[in-house]
Each structure stands twice: as structure tokens, then as C-alpha cells.
Amino acid sequence: MTLPTAGPRLVRRGLVICALALLGLAGVYVLAIGYTPVEARQGLAQKIFYLHVPAAWCALLAFSLVGLSSALYLWLHDARLDRFAAASAEVGVAFSAVMLTTGPIWAKPIWGTWWTWDARLTLTLFLFFLFIGYLALRAALVDPAERARFSAVVGILGMLLVPFIHLSVYLFRTLHPQPVVLKPSAPSLPPEMLQTLLASVAVFTLLYIGLVTARYGIALAEEAREAADAA
């Protein structure tokens, strides 16, 4: 039985983590703009990489956790898992939005076109639609138990759709630059770039944690108040 103050406590903690993460983000901005070298072929626009890649990582993280907690919810029926999934989905929309805006802004100067249907940009678009569908379904269902069960089903199905999207779109075509960072021998990025990228990934992950904690706490607080109003 959670105390009525549990929600607000989590919200405060989450928002503090967010504030720290946003400060860290400012630091990453400075590093990315000032510390990293300018890529010879791609120019300054290449530096969007330091925001786009961590956003992609967080969107995928958010999505996987929605899928995972959905599966666990159907098994354990713990309302906390449902609440977490909803929070992660909403935060995932934010990071997907970053990906879907920085992607084209990066693509235009580098590839000459705002949009391409390459494997990764397309997958991002699908994640975005899956998140939105998930949240739309939740908004359309009133009964909390039904809402939790149905969204869990969408969460699991969505998680299993992703490999198929990846496979079918990849078979369809791909233009995306090959991954530069994760190579077995050594990353082919100069050290300043790698450091900044890793710092950015850490900051974005921290932001994810803060946002989800705050969103979770808000859900908890709102539920507690609804229960108090009904009583």
C-alpha cells in the first residue's frame, strides 16, 4: 500500500534528476560545439550526431522497457509495471521526436534530402507511431485494469514487431552510414568525438531516468487524488 506522499516524493526526485541532466546537456552542448573537431567532409552539421545518436539510444531503451514491463505485467499483474510502462512510453515519444527532427536536419546537408526511407530513420518513425498508438489506446480506455491489460498486449506485440520492421525495411533498402563506434578492434572516431558522444549518452540516459521517475510520480499522485476524491 503506497503512502499518499509517495507520488510527490518521486516527482521531486525525478525533477531534480532532470535538472541535473539538463545541466549536463548544456555541458554536452559546450563540448560538442567547442571541444570536438569539425569533420572535414560533413562540416558543422555532423555535430548533430552527438544529439541524434543518444536520443536514438534512449528511444530504443524506452521502447524496450515498455515491452519488457508489458510482458512482466501480463505475468505478475503488478500495477507498478503498468504505471512504469506508461511513463516510459510518454518519455519515449519525446526522445523519438528528437530523433525524427534531428534526423532530417542532419540528412539535408549531408545527403541532400530531408527524408530517406533508410532502415534506421524508418524504424524511428515506426517507434514513434507505436508509442503514439500505445498512448492513444490508453487514453481511450477508462477502466484501469482493462487499460493496463490492453496496453500490455500492444507493448508486447510492438516489441516483437521491431525486428520485423528492421528486417523488412533493410531488405527493402538502406542508405544509413555504417556504425562507426562499435567495432571490435578500436573505434574509428578521434578521442574528442568518442568522449563527447559517451558523455552525451550518459547525460541522455540520466535525463530518461529523471523524466520517467517524474512521470511515474505524477501518475501515482494523480491516482491517489482520484481515489481520495472518490472516497
Partner 1 sequence: MLEALRLALAVAGKDIRAELRSRTALLSATVFAALVLVVFNFARDPTALAAVDLAPSVLWVTFALAAMVALNRAFTIERENAALDGLLLAPVPREAIFLGKLLANLAFVGTVEAITLPLFVLFFNVNLGAALPGILGVTALATIGFVAVGTIFSAMAVRTRFAELMLPVLLLPFMVPPLIGAVQATARLLSDRPLSEVMGWLRLLALYDVVFVTLCMLVFPAVVDE
Partner 2 sequence: MPPDNGAYMVAGYVVTAVILVGYAAALWRRAGRAVRGE
Q: 39 - beta bridge partners? A: 43
DSSP summary character for residue 43: B
Q: Which is nearer to partner 2, 2 or 168 (CB)?
A: 2
Binding site for partner 1 (CB under 8 A): 74, 126, 129-130, 132-133, 136-137, 140-141, 145-146, 149-150, 152-154, 156-158, 160-161, 164-165, 167-169, 171-172
CB of 158: closest distance to partner 1 in angstroms?
8
CA atoms within 13 A on the CB side of 155: 32
Residue among 118, 105, 231 nearest 174 (CA): 118
Q: Please name which of 98, 96, 87, 104 lies closest in space to residue 162, comparing C-alpha atoms.
A: 96
Q: Could you say whether residue 22 binds partner 2 (CB under 8 A)? A: yes
Question: DSSP class of residue 185?
Answer: S
3-state secondary structure of 39: strand
Min CB(110)–partner 2 separation in Å? 8
Q: Where does this chain bind partner 2 (CB under 8 A)? A: 7-8, 11, 14-15, 18, 22, 25, 29, 32-33, 38-45, 47-48, 51-52, 55, 91, 94, 97-98, 101-102, 105-106, 108-109, 207, 210-211, 214-215, 217-218, 221-222, 225
